[in-house]
Structure 1
Amino acid sequence: MDMNLNGRRALVTGSTAGIGYAIARALAQMGATVAINGRTPDRVRTAIARLKEETGTTCFIAAPGDIATAGGAEKVVKGLPAIDILVNNTGIFEPKPFFDIPDEDWLRFYETNVMSGVRLSRAYTPGMVEAGWGRVVFISSESGLNIPVEMVHYGMTKTAQLAVSRGLAETVAGSGVTVNSVLPGPTLSEGVADFMAKMAKDTGEVDLDAMGRDFVAEHRSTSLIGRLATVEEVANMVAYICSPAASATSGAALRVDGGVIRHIA
């Protein structure tokens, strides 16, 4: 199986922590030079220092910029004009009842979760097509299929990512460029761990694994693994579809949801 990414350049957005960080680490371990993106140069520098220590490689470059804005995306593209792999990972979430979500929240979520990937894909994919090889990945969510009642605006953006991903895959059909979505389920990212740690202080429960299993049992009871996924488990799927081995996979929505979604297609 060809998982070699030597000589390839990748951009992983939102990669200073969580799933994006794990994806960046996995791609670097496969030989890619990986651009680390975050909103501030300080966060990017800190993440790169950690990645270099953890991987024993120096194949990381800084690509700071708030890609939730058109200006921030333009800044990133100007500093990194050509890549082979784009992982659209940047995203935000916030539980809020539907009737309490104002217009500005709907627009903020759409700009961050959807338009960030649209802008970067529009900027980078033509160069991949010209080169005859490329990978574009959208990090969606099982919430794009199972719209969560506690954050409908988030679910809406994750469904939109699936539509954009499939449409772009159709657009570049036969070019050597593949476009796919990955749908994580409940995942123990740093943000979720921090949230659960705060809950632990309130409840006295300190076992994050047990808390994760309790959350899944209560809120995602259809899970077949009965626990939160790790960021590494999500990154493994992304690393595979970014590799030469996945050359026949395009236009797909690949689930890493622990079986939460109860259908076979």
Structure 2
Amino acid sequence: MDMGLSGRRALVTGSSRGLGRASARMLAAEGATVVVHGPAPSDAGAVAAEIRAAGGSAETAAGDLTTEEGAAEVAHQALAGGPVDILVNNAGTYDTLPWSEAIPELWAATYETNVVSGVRMIRHLVPGMRERGWGRVIQLGGGLAVQPMAVQPHYSATLAARHNLAVSLARELRGTGVTSNTVAPGAILTEAVRELLVQEAPARGWGDTWEEIERHATETFVPNDTGRFGRPEEIAAAVVFLAGTHAGYISGATLRVDGGTVRCVQ
């Protein structure tokens, strides 16, 4: 299926690793020119080089999105090569701290990183999309937005904010040709997650081989209907779909890619 991304330009924030990296690579494979963003030029440059080596088109933008100046500089770099048609707000941070350790200052810092940084990029890039009459804005959210656990309450709250702002933005962009949606991953097997599971396995009795660890971790830690962790490429596929021409009638929606973790109707 042709996603209609040839000639489009996409900025994926936080795309030097993890879900952002997978999304950048797949968008480029579908014909988009991708602006790879990372905190430092070397981080973004490595992924851009991977994309070019695979025959894709990639540029870079580096900077700290948690400051007004840094976000403005990232937007400036992203726009240097032409208009940005697709914004994927992926950059963020998380931890697994409980309520007792999630002090108010950490709540504020996490909100700044996970929510306000994305708002800054929306303000920089969406006006141009509106003027041109076409655009895609995609937030990376998560199932914890609607089914939070006892731990990491500050992180879950920021996911809920991402989901909420995506719907509000969709209402704001009504009739403009610009859509706003959310991709909500479940437990995804990034490099960091795999390292965490391997470290936790001995104490939790999850076994020695990766197959055993993934099976037991899925059963006891993140139960879902597929019996496994998702892969970054599965999230990237959802991002690419929402970015493409076939998703023009979808706005204000949440696309869950979580193996059936979230059981309620949304």
- TM-score bracket for the superposition, by shorter chain length: over 0.9
Deviation at 1:121, TM superposition (A): 0.7
Deviation at 1:20, TM superposition (A): 0.5
CA distance in 2, matches of 1:71, 1:118: 14
Larger mean Cα displacement after TM superposition, 19-28 or 69-78: 69-78
SS of aligned partner of 2:157: helix
Deviation at 1:180, TM superposition (A): 0.0
The reply to whether residue 73 of structure 1 matches residue 75 of structure 2 is: no
Partner of 2:137: 136
Kindly, what percent of the aligned residue pairs are identical? 38
Deviation at 1:204, TM superposition (A): 9.0
Q: Give 1:53-72 correspondences, 5 Å limit.
A: 53=53, 55-57=54-56, 59-72=57-70
The reply to whether residue 228 of structure 1 matches residue 229 of structure 2 is: yes
Cα RMSD (Å): 1.6
CA distance in 2, matches of 1:133, 1:209: 44
Q: Give 1:131-170 correspondences, 5 Å limit.
A: 131-170=132-171
Normalising to structure 2: TM-score of the pair? 0.93
Query: Counterpart of 1:210 in structure 2: which amino acid?
Result: E
Q: How many equivalent residue pairs?
A: 262
Q: Give 1:79-228 correspondences, 5 Å limit.
A: 79-81=77-79, 82-199=83-200, 205-221=207-223, 223-228=224-229
* 1:156-205 deviation digits (Å, cap 9, x = unpaired): 00000011100000000111001000100000012212222434577794
* 1:87-125 deviation digits (Å, cap 9, x = unpaired): 000111101110211122111110111011111011111
Cα pair distance change 1:254/1:204, threshold 3 Å: closer
Cα pair distance change 1:210/1:4, threshold 3 Å: farther
What stretches of structure 1 of length at least 5 have no aligned partner? none
CA distance in 1, matches of 2:209, 2:71: 39
Paired residues of 2:169 and 2:180 also in contact (CA < 8 A): yes
